[in-house]
Chain A
């Protein structure tokens, strides 16, 4: 395991870039830990801790803004959790070289998602202007606030989106990345939910993925408490800094820069695993 100061700087930097770029810091941190010769079985729990800390740090703000669609998030998570459990249980039985390759591919997928993400699709409608932003009971529909107007939306192609969620869960359980880079596009591109809502809902869902994964890793005795606390501390500080810097820096530029960095890391991991 790297020195404490390396871990704290790494988790801080990854959480900072993750918050700024919206790609999830774990997909950056776990492959970097592999480059630093950390065993994939120990790197995965540290990634999950970063995901959990990031989700918790964002929770209160996202709840107050009415961005999270809990029903959609939990519907996605119900199947993703099955995938996470399967992946986490399989991870101790898979050759570490193949696990490293999977991580490299997961990081590459995260890089592509970061570079290729689209902007606003749904537009404000005056008819909804008096509504509170939030989800509609008993449905996978709702409204969110954009520039003072309410934007209505409705999740479409739900079975296809849930199918992607299972895959995201397996990847998360195997590798320790949150799977947000798969869940967010599943919601925004497959289910046609606004990107802002999809990102917030994915952050909420990834927190549950992290909790489930960490419960399994605890049972498998794979969490080193000293490293875990340092990573959580770095993630909380990095996440808070990232949230502040979001208003200053250009989000698209940061996301693309982070995507390129992630692509480089994934190539290094893949080449080393050959």
Chain B
């Protein structure tokens, strides 16, 4: 096992960045959902749509972020897997 590649340092700054971004998105989703529950029409509808849109966008952006990160590290195989997942999600929307 001594020749194994170095593990990703999950606690280092680049993963902290995506963790922070996820925290911020989570805060916005919560605010949009709360706003939708208490605001009058038509604001509640718009805020509700923003909550759902943020919830859809967050994991897909994380996938895209991973793909770009792996391309930079030369890990093309798993970068292609990530891009495949992203593309399939968009195809699903188009087929729906």
Give the B-binding residues of A (Cβ under 8 A).
4, 8, 49, 52-53, 55-57, 59-61, 63-66, 70-71, 74-75, 77-78, 81-82, 84-85, 88-89, 127, 131-139, 141-143, 152, 204, 207-208, 210-212, 214-220, 223, 225-226, 228-230, 232-233, 236
Chain B residues with CB below 8 A from A236, complex form: 26, 29-30, 33
Partner of B78, one of A63, A71, A204: A71
Chain B residues with CB below 8 A from A49, complex form: 52, 55
Partner of A64, one of B11, B94, B95: B11
In the complex, what's the smallest C-beta–C-beta distance from B89 to chain A, in angstroms? 4
Whether A226 contacts B36 in the complex (CB less than 8 A), given A53-B29, A89-B96, A207-B59, comes out as yes
Nearest to A72 among chain B residues (CB) is B78
A15 to B93, CA, bound (A): 26
Would you give 18 A-B contacts (Cβ < 8 Å), ordered by A? A49-B52, A63-B22, A66-B10, A71-B78, A75-B81, A78-B84, A89-B96, A132-B11, A133-B7, A137-B70, A138-B5, A143-B7, A207-B59, A207-B62, A210-B55, A211-B56, A229-B48, A233-B37
Partner of A219, one of B44, B49, B93: B93
Please state if A139 and B5 are interface contacts (CB–CB under 8 Å). Answer: yes
In the complex, what's the smallest C-beta–C-beta distance from A2 to chain B, in angstroms? 15
Chain A residues with CB below 8 A from B48, complex form: 225-226, 228-229
Please state if B26 and A60 are interface contacts (CB–CB under 8 Å). Answer: yes
In the complex, what's the smallest C-beta–C-beta distance from B75 to chain A, in angstroms? 5
List 10 A-B pairs, minimum CB-CB distance, nearest first: A219-B96, A66-B10, A229-B36, A216-B96, A229-B48, A225-B48, A215-B93, A207-B59, A134-B8, A63-B19
Whether A56 contacts B81 in the complex (CB less than 8 A), given A89-B96, A132-B7, A215-B89, comes out as no
Chain A residues with CB below 8 A from B82, complex form: 70, 74
A138 to B33, CA, bound (A): 39
A1 to B13, CA, bound (A): 45
Of the listed residues A8, A136, A138, the one surrounded by the most CB atoms of chain B closer than 10 A to its CB is A138
In the complex, what's the smallest C-beta–C-beta distance from A201 to chain B, in angstroms? 13
Partner of B9, one of A77, A134, A216, A229: A134
Number of interface residues, chain B, beta carbon within 8 A? 60
Task: Give 14 new A-B contacts, CB below 8 A, not counting A66-B15, A225-B36.
Answer: A56-B55, A63-B22, A74-B85, A81-B88, A136-B7, A207-B58, A207-B59, A212-B88, A216-B96, A226-B44, A229-B37, A230-B36, A232-B51, A233-B30
Please state if A134 and B52 are interface contacts (CB–CB under 8 Å). Answer: no
Please state if A208 and B5 are interface contacts (CB–CB under 8 Å). Answer: no
A52 to B62, CA, bound (A): 13
